[in-house]
């Protein structure tokens, strides 16, 4: 009898941002499959369970093992950081099941994705329409990524950049954004959100390069739109209430 796959998002990695459903699914599972770093982040939950780990770039191996273990009758927790649909393990697992005509019971359990975790540390930069773009060119050509960056910049979306580890590609992306945004546009850089080594930087489009050495694979960058501003060291993207209301009168009435 086939088992089940829980495709789980564990959030930023700290215990406080785990969801109750995520904890229930881990408890119900007898097999845990994860990238080595993610397995370490939840090691307090995996005693007595079979734990299968894999290195970075071994996503298809993890998906294959989850499907095969479920077909053997196991309840499997396939772990992603953040949310499993946002550059996580949900897409390759469902694609592999579809390509091989495998029908296994599964449930996708959402988690706090990096854009939301980083934004919470920065203030309220994602208060209006925003675009999420990965700068990883391992699976998507750099030209396609830069095309998306340009369209997001043209549309005046707040832009959240995942995986900014490719420095030449990051520099090109930021140059494109700078064609459409002023130098004082807020830029947030969050490294290791909610983890022990967390660093939070609020800067601007004209000054962000000073922090280039802080940017690695666990860094999120958020670039404000034309209306975003910095107040009390935090980034705010207005919702548009001031077009109808006066905040000062509202506060003092």
Q: How confident is the model at residue 67, as a pLDDT? A: 97
Q: What are the domain boundaries of the chain?
A: 4-112, 115-236
Question: What is 4-112's CATH superfamily?
Answer: Tetrapyrrole methylase, N-terminal domain (3.40.1010.10)
d(CA 109, CA 46): 17
What rounded mean pLDDT belongs to the chain?
Answer: 95
Portion of the chain with pLDDT greater than 90, in percent: 91
Length of the chain: 253
pLDDT in tens, 36-47: 999 999 999 999
Stated pTM of the model: 0.92
Q: How confident is the model at residue 196, as a pLDDT? A: 87
pLDDT in tens, 79-92: 999 999 999 999 99
CB atoms within 10 A of CB 124: 15
**CA dihedral in degrees (20, 26, 29, 30; nearest 10)?**
-150
Portion of the chain with pLDDT greater than 70, in percent: 97
pLDDT at 252 over 90: no
> Can you name the CATH fold of 115-236?
3.30.950
d(CA 34, CA 13): 13
Mean pLDDT for 189-199 is: 94
Q: How confident is the model at residue 240, as a pLDDT? A: 75
Q: How confident is the model at residue 53, as a pLDDT? A: 96
Positive or negative: CA dihedral 240, 242, 248, 252: negative
Q: How confident is the model at residue 245, as a pLDDT? A: 67
pLDDT in tens, 137-163: 999 999 999 999 999 999 999 999 999
The residue among 164, 158, 178, 170 whose CA lies nearest residue 229 is 158
pLDDT at 125 over 80: yes
d(CA 191, CA 118): 8
């Amino acid at each position: 009898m086939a088992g089940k796959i829980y495709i789980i998002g564990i959030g930023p990695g700290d215990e406080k941002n785990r969801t109750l459903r995520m904890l229930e699914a881990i408890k119900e599972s007898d097999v845990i499959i994860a990238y080595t770093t993610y397995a370490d982040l939840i090691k307090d939950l995996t005693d007595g369970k079979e734990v299968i780990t894999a290195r970075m770039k071994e996503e298809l191996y993890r998906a294959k093992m989850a499907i095969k273990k479920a077909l053997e009758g196991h309840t499997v927790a396939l772990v992603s950081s953040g949310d499993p649909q946002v550059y996580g393990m949900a897409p390759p697992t469902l694609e592999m099941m579809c390509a091989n005509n495998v029908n296994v019971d599964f449930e996708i359990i959402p988690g706090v994705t990096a854009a939301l975790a980083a934004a919470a540390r920065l203030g309220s930069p994602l208060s209006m329409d925003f675009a999420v773009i990965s700068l990883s060119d391992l699976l998507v050509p750099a030209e396609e990524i830069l095309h998306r960056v340009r369209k997001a910049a043209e549309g005046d979306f707040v832009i959240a950049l995942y995986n900014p580890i490719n420095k030449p590609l990051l520099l090109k992306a930021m140059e494109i954004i700078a064609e459409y945004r002023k130098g004082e546009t807020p830029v947030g850089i969050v490294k290791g959100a909610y983890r022990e080594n967390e660093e939070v930087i609020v800067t601007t489009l004209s000054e962000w390069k000073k922090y280039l050495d802080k940017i690695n694979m666990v860094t999120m960058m958020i670039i404000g739109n034309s209306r975003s501003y910095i107040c009390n060291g935090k980034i705010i993207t207005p919702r548009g209430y001031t077009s109808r209301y006066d905040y000062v009168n509202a506060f003092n009435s």
